[in-house]
Amino acid sequence: MQVGTGKSILNGIAIGKIKVYKKKDTTISTAEVEDTAAEIARFEEAQAKAIEQQTALYEKALNEAGEDIAEVFNIHAMMLEDDDFVDAIKEIINGQKMCAEYAVKTAGNNQAAVFAAMDDPYLQARSADVLDIAQAMLDILQGTDTQSVQGTEPTILVAEDLAPSETVRLDKSLLLGFITREGSSNSHTAILARSMNIPALIQCKDITEEWDGQMAVIDGYNACVYVDPTPDLLKSLQKRQQEDRKKQALLQELKGKPNTTLDGKTINVYANIGGIGDVGAVQQNDAGGVGLFRSEFVYLNSKDYPTEDYQFEAYKQVVETLAPRKVIIRTCDIGADKTVDYMKLDHEENPALGYRAIRICLTRKDFFKTQLRAILRASAYGNVSVMFPMIISLRELRDAKATLEECRKELVAEGKKVGEVEIGTMIETPAAVMIADDLAEECDFFSIGTNDLTQYTCALDRQNAKLEPFVNPHHPAVLKMIQMTVEAGHRHNCWVGICGELGADTALTESFLRMGVDELSVNPKSVLPLRKMIRSIDLSK
């Protein structure tokens, strides 16, 4: 038996034969070409086809993994049209008189190296995306069909690395799990694995080609793989896998049941979504509503400012489909690690503390009003609430509310249908916590964004992997701020929810219930496990 170790992407067990996937090496000519114009034309044709491919992958990912994950391929399509990338390719063709394949490969490697050298782990992980789109064009230029990564039977896939496009193309029915030598937990491939519930191990340096065809077990709980396991170990891990499956089946039996503790306290359990692609998961996992609709994905999906009608249709489809369930739409939270070229935001040394979210909206009023009008129009088709992110002052909340009311009056004057909406405030900073009593008098609800609240309270950059040893997700200062927010909200008849990662942390569920938290909004797949935990708690003890 061999044991390989790495970094686990998903707690789970995968058992089956290994298939080692080795990418085919292709030779690229380094000879000078005579007709550079013909090579430019070949490149542009490959570029157009690659963009079409990314669009098709977007649709496949949308159906299998949801809007947030599918967005990867919209980003890929935009990368393929990036002026710097395209100019670099054309310059190599014209200036060095090289073929299109050489230019694409060289420009792709150079741009990937730029990302890999960055300090931000999220941006470092984008290196793999650049290599992915460059390979897509190379396959087209060389007339190489996308290789069949899998065979005809379910296997554990082993590879040096897997690009996001390769991961999405995989037949999920034949994929038991995967192991890669390279990779990052921030990579889109890792995100895809988690969203599709596939046990995976990355950064496993023990991989060898001799593993091909051997029986193996991925143990996601202990971040290792057992190749040719002993009969006793195999039997033990098969039992653990069966227990996991039974737990999943039992969770399905909780559908339709209330989120009520043993002593009778009920709490709302909602889901976080990025768009219409996530609505199916909301329904399948029986969430009571949407506690966080990340509207910025409407902007990230667009190559230019989305129009009012475009946004209205996006919101209306979600609201109408889920009616009468509540849908809380967070206004645009662009900035920090989420940017779009067309907004032309300046580079900032510290974007997490910079020009983002409500700060953009209140200084670009036409931009803000376009979204608010779309949300108000969608509110006529279901149960809509609106909440403002990154509020740190009473003035900001009042300005945002005034703009919302201005939009309402305009729409009524135009004869357009508008529904009633609750108004909420995100509590994401210590400043918001300290003035929570004042904010509560001006709104209907609070939603605590624990990811940013932890970042700003503890002065720990969420994106910096080097700081992981210093992160305490249960930091007493953060829990105290949550308690203070709940108490302030309730003093002014303002209900309080949590929509950050801590909401799904079942180790804290009882603490949140005892604090008086009214609602928890989590990833759709966490809804039923959270319901199970709530129904096991007795607050009377």
**Binding-site annotation, residues for phosphoenolpyruvate:** 294, 330, 451-452, 462
Give ∠ CA 72-75-77 in degrees, rounded to 5.
115
In order of 127, 302, 340, 348, the CA distances from 78 in angstroms are 15, 10, 10, 22
Closest CA to 46 of 103, 128, 91: 103
Question: How many beta carbons lie within 10 A of that of residue 513, not counting itself?
Answer: 19
> Could you tell me what percentage of the chain is helix, strand and coil, using 3-state DSSP and rounding each to the nearest 5?
50, 15, 35
b/e code 30-60 from CB counts within 10 Å (16+ = b): eeeeeebeebbebbeebbeebbebbeebbee
Distance of CA 360 to the CA centre of its chain: 22
159 membership: H or E segment, kind and range: strand 155-159
Instruction: Indicate the annotated binding residues for Mg(2+).
Output: 428, 452
In order of 41, 204, 212, 213, 325, the CA distances from 18 in angstroms are 42, 14, 5, 5, 45
d(CA 115, CA 106): 15
Per the listing, tokens 């970042």 go with: 455
123 membership: H or E segment, kind and range: helix 121-125
| Active-site annotation, residues | 188, 499
**3-state SS class at 59:** helix
Tokens of 356: 């983002």
20 membership: H or E segment, kind and range: strand 13-21
Closest CA to 482 of 517, 525, 534: 517
Q: In the 8-state DSSP scheme, what is residue 285?
A: T
d(CA 443, CA 491): 13
Instruction: Indicate the annotated binding residues.
Output: 294, 330, 428, 451-452, 462
Query: Any idea how long the chain is?
Result: 541
